[in-house]
Amino acid sequence: MNRDLHTRFGRDITGLPALRQQGEQEFAARANELSAFMRERDRAPEAAAAHDAAEARLGSWLDGQRAADRRGRLSPHRADALQGVLGRGWSSAR
């Protein structure tokens, strides 16, 4: 069974909603937030050790981008954009 069909059946059986794919405008907005955060605080946001709700949300988003990259599901364009903000090794940085 192919991966898409497996995922669809799994969602039908469990009743879980389909994962929403993030659009380019939303990605660009988060990348801009990340860039501003890095300029202001000189560090990457952390979801688990956040100092405020905005950092927690941005850190969680960044964790999701890293997970997508590890699974090979992050486009080269997005990976390049994140590397431009965070530098080399951004996907393994923690």
Per-residue model confidence as pLDDT tens digits over 1-41: 666 665 666 667 766 655 556 698 999 999 999 999 999 99
Q: Report pTM.
A: 0.75
Per-residue model confidence as pLDDT tens digits over 45-54: 999 999 999 9
Which carries the bigger pLDDT value, residue 8 or residue 88?
A: 88
Q: pLDDT tier at 89 (50, 70, 90 boundaries)?
A: confident
Q: pLDDT tier at 91 (50, 70, 90 boundaries)?
A: confident
- Domain parsing of the chain, residue ranges: 24-94
- Of 36, 29, 25, nearest to 85 by C-alpha is 36
Based on the number of CB atoms within 10 Å of its own CB, is 58 exposed (0-12), middle (13-18) or buried (19 or more)?
Answer: buried
Per-residue model confidence as pLDDT tens digits over 59-78: 999 999 999 999 999 999 99
